[in-house]
Amino acid sequence: MKLTKYLANLGYGSRRDVGRMLDDERVTRRDGIVLAEGDACAHDDILVDGEPLDPPPGAVVMLHKPIGYVCTTKDADRLVYELLPPRYRERSPIVAPVGRLDRDTSGLLLLTDDGQLNHRLTSPRTHLPKVYVVQLANDLRGDERELFASGTMMLESEPDPLAPAALEILDARHVRLTLTEGRYHQARRMFAATGNHVESLHRVRVGGLELGDLPSGMWRLLDAADVARLQATSSPSAP
Ligand code: URA
């Protein structure tokens, strides 16, 4: 791929913008040689304005999403993209959320420009476990663990029962809930169906990957070991 297109795809501007950057000798190799449009060069050897490039295609980002941010590219609310380097939103393909968290949900949100990985992680057939810490408005009524685990629980206006979900009771109003699906407002609707109300919802784990001590509003790139960990506990069902 030509350097102009490569850098444009990484969000450095339109092809015309990048062409100008090349003309202005802002794109160099690490040894200082100025690069031109047709030059072939390894990603890690390219500098723009003396700075290493953003991560190559296939980047996976973990964001600690705060409450109040939405996972879309346009909205009246604050966008998760405001918490990431602006170029990530300009990349082609865009660094897109892997599934979504509601505006009022906090915690581990993954984003990637790897469409195949995104599809694999969000496919209902992958059954990737997602763990939420939930604070409830009212005491549990007592049968939630059995109901959620049953595989027969129905949500209003949904044609299929929910897959079994694991509930670990921490105390009467605090639980850890493990979902393997990503239905709309699923955790909130499950508790609403039991007459309860979710006060706060925080995702702490996706697959084998923990949010850990990443501060709220901060992000980090995943390395190959993280991505392996992420997928470690997924168990694709037979086709
Ligand atoms: N369930 C919800 O209700 N909201 C989320 O953001 C995730 C799971």
Mean pLDDT of 24-39: 95
Check if 45 is active-site. Answer: no
Does the residue 99 lie in any domain? yes
- Give the chain's domain count: 3
Mean pLDDT of 185-207: 98
Asked if 215 and 101 sit in the same domain, the reply is yes
Question: Which of the four pLDDT bands, split at 50, 70 and 90, describes residue 233?
Answer: low
In the chain, the amino acid numbered 70 is V
Domain boundary among 18, 36, 52: 52
- 100: closest CA among 9, 20, 206? 206
Structure tokens that stand for 183 in this block: 């239905």
Q: Is 187 in the pocket of ligand 1 (CB under 6 A)?
A: yes
Asked if 147 and 95 sit in the same domain, the reply is no
The Å distance, Cα 69 to ligand 1 centre, comes to: 13
Asked if 148 and 30 sit in the same domain, the reply is no
Contact residues for 95 (Cβ-Cβ < 8 A; gap 6+)? 59, 61, 84, 88, 89, 111, 112, 113
DSSP alpha helix (H) spans, 28-174: 87-90, 115-122, 144-149
Does the residue 221 lie in any domain? yes
Asked if 149 and 34 sit in the same domain, the reply is no
- CATH number assigned to the domain comprising residue 213: 3.30.70.580
Ligand 1 atom having least distance to the Cα of 100: 6
- CATH number assigned to the domain comprising residue 40: 3.10.290.10
Ligand 1 atom having least distance to the Cα of 198: 3
Asked if 101 and 197 sit in the same domain, the reply is no
Does the residue 198 lie in any domain? yes
Angle, CA of 200, 205 and 211, to the nearest 5°: 85
Mean pLDDT of 207-224: 97
Pocket residue to mutate for ligand 1, from 64, 67, 101, 204, most atoms within 8 A of Cβ: 101
- Tell me: pLDDT of 237 over 50: no
Q: Is 101 in the pocket of ligand 1 (CB under 6 A)?
A: yes
Q: pTM, whole model, 2 decimals?
A: 0.94
The predicted-structure confidence for 66-124, as pLDDT tens digits, reads as follows: 999 999 988 888 999 999 999 999 999 999 999 999 999 999 999 999 999 999 999 98
Angstrom distance (rounded) from CA 9 to CA 24: 19
Angstrom distance (rounded) from CA 173 to CA 185: 19
- Tell me: pLDDT of 216 over 70: yes
Does the residue 236 lie in any domain? no
- Domain range for 94: 60-124+209-231
Does the residue 238 lie in any domain? no
Asked if 14 and 28 sit in the same domain, the reply is yes
pLDDT at 73: 87
**CB 97, CB 71: distance < 8 Å:** yes
pLDDT at 1: 84
Ligand 1 atom having least distance to the Cα of 185: 3
Asked if 120 and 213 sit in the same domain, the reply is yes
- CATH number assigned to the domain comprising residue 163: 3.30.70.1560
For the chain, the helix, strand and coil percentages under 3-state DSSP, each to the nearest 5 = 25, 25, 50
Mean pLDDT of 184-190: 97
The predicted-structure confidence for 151-181, as pLDDT tens digits, reads as follows: 999 999 999 999 999 999 999 999 999 999 9
Asked if 162 and 201 sit in the same domain, the reply is yes
pLDDT at 75: 80
Asked if 214 and 118 sit in the same domain, the reply is yes
The predicted-structure confidence for 126-139, as pLDDT tens digits, reads as follows: 999 999 999 999 99
- Tell me: pLDDT of 236 over 90: no
Q: Is 185 in the pocket of ligand 1 (CB under 6 A)?
A: yes
Asked if 199 and 213 sit in the same domain, the reply is no
